[in-house]
Amino acid sequence: MCLTLLRTATCVLLSCLALAARPALCAQPEEELNIATFSVCAYDPRTGEVGVAVQSRFFGVGVVVPWCQAGVGAVASQAFGNPTFGPRILELMGDGFSAEDALKLCISADKDAASRQIGVVRANPRIQEMQSQDDPLLALNLISPSAGDVAQSFTGSKCMAWAGGRTGISKDGIVYACQGNILTGSEVVDAMALAMDDPASVLALELTQTQSSAYNGGKDLAGRLLGALLAGQAKGGDSRGMQSSALKVSQAGAGYGGYSDVKYDLRVDDAPDPFEELARLLNIARPWALTTEGYNKLNSGNMQEAIRVFTELTQVQPEEPGHHYNLACALARSGRGDEAMAELQLSLSLDKDNSYRSYLPGDTDLTSLRDRDDFKALLAP
């Protein structure tokens, strides 16, 4: 009991100090626009990804609502949204606060809290370190005894109906918070939560070919987030209609060249069908993101994962010679020479500019193939 009281007192003291030390982050502008929207925040402990997807009858919603930081978490700030809440809550969670405590700190200092709607999920690197492939919820349950530690959805009493949210942890361990305001009804958020829990439920929707391809069966976090938006829209979505959408996903080292953590930052500021346009952008962006992931795995020596990623790329874009070439490199470094040669020959047959052929003499990834007659034949003029 004494330890509990001490911990409570310490948290209160830290909260007061935090608010006193950083008041500017919670400053409120005098006039704000009502960002009526529906959104989903999520964290996948299997990959370390955090992300947000959002749609609204509001111009440029992606500039205001979604915030995420690799290794920390994700935030959606909407209704009469305060964009400073995104970086503020991420900073607090980065300092060790739970999703619940970080949210409470901002709300308690906000004179307009009754008009806010905020979704929060918190990443926990220890979950990723401990996670068992056979039981994706094991580490999450051991480290975080309640979903409140990692997921929160707050809807102020003055948010315009219908307004509300749902939080949960899917069967495969994805932590999520779904919320929306000025919706056609509670079924919108319920459908979003179901899509996060059960990816197969999205396949029952009437998706366009573009949307189906971008959803990709909910196999990655970006697809799962898009699926939640599509499910919410199928139930009515924003009661005022459609205008803009956005999808952000962060993962350590997932950005271009491994120099940043930004895996996806897709924005549709104004479109007749922002869902279709967001899906189109994701279809373009995914191969780039996978290529970066594959290179990261290859350069770190994780050949099994590199082969998995590059194999997926050959399935996504089978006519792209670079994907087959990269897969050949990973296979060659794994000692799987026959498979590597098959991919290499396919790559060169697809390469109309012969650019990949010029890489062969000096590519150290292909060292294990150099004594093979079929490889030497590729070097012949």
pLDDT digits (tens, 9 = 90+) for 58-76: 999 999 999 999 999 999 9
Closest by CA position to 14, among listed 71, 98, 70, 72: 98
Quote the pTM value: 0.85
Pairing mode of beta strands 116-122, 151-155? antiparallel
DSSP code of 160?
P
State in words which class domain 31-286 has: alpha beta
The pLDDT assigned to 380 comes to 86
Q: State the average pLDDT over residues 160-171.
A: 94
- Rounded to whole angstroms, the Cα distance separating 152 from 144 reads 13
For 319, list phi and psi in degrees, rounded to 5: -95, 0
Q: Is 34 exposed, middle or buried (0-12, 13-18, 19+ CB in 10 A)?
A: middle
The tokens describing 58, both together, are 């509001």
Which of 287, 221, 215 is closest to 248 using CA atoms? 221
Report CA-CA distances (Å) from 196 to 19, 115, 190, 306.
34, 26, 10, 27
Q: Counting Cβ atoms within 10 Å, is residue 174 exposed (0-12), middle (13-18) or buried (19+)?
A: buried
Residue 20 — pLDDT band, cuts 50, 70, 90? very low
H or E element at residue 119: strand 116-122
Host H or E run for residue 195: helix 186-197
In angstroms, how far is CA 155 from the centroid of its own chain?
23
* pLDDT for the residue numbered 165: 97
CA–CA dist 236, 242 (Å, integer)? 10
**CB-based contact 284:306 (threshold 8 Å):** no
Residue type, 101: D
CATH code of the domain occupying 301-379:
1.25.40.10
Under 8 Å between Cβ of 86 and 41: no
Band (2; pLDDT cuts 50, 70, 90): very low
pLDDT over 60 (residue 26): no
Work out the average pLDDT over 241-254.
96
Tell me the per-residue pLDDT of 249-296, one tens digit each, with 9 for 90 and over: 999 999 988 899 999 999 999 999 999 999 999 999 999 999 999 999
Query: Residue 26 corresponds to which tokens in the numbers above?
Result: 């919670």
**How long, in residues, is the chain?**
381
Portions of the chain given CATH number 3.60.20.10: 31-286
Q: In this model, does residue 5 exceed pLDDT 60? A: no
Model confidence at 230: pLDDT above 80: yes
Three-class DSSP category at 251: coil
Strand partners, 38: 55, 180
Residue 169 backbone zone (phi > 0: left; psi -120 to 50: alpha; other: beta)? beta
Residue 196 structure tokens: 């996060």
21 against 295, higher pLDDT: 295
Write out the residue limits of the CATH 1.25.40.10 domain(s) in the chain.
301-379
Q: What is the mean pLDDT of residues 163-168?
A: 96
Beta bridge partners of 246: 54, 267
- Does pLDDT of 22 surpass 50? no
Q: Mean of the pLDDT values across residues 318-347?
A: 97
Number of helices (H), then strands (E), in the chain: 15, 10
Strand partners, 66: 76
Q: For residue 13, name the pLDDT band (cuts at 50, 70, 90).
A: very low
* Secondary structure of residue 283 in the 3-state scheme: helix
Q: Are 180 and 232 in contact (CB under 8 A)?
A: yes
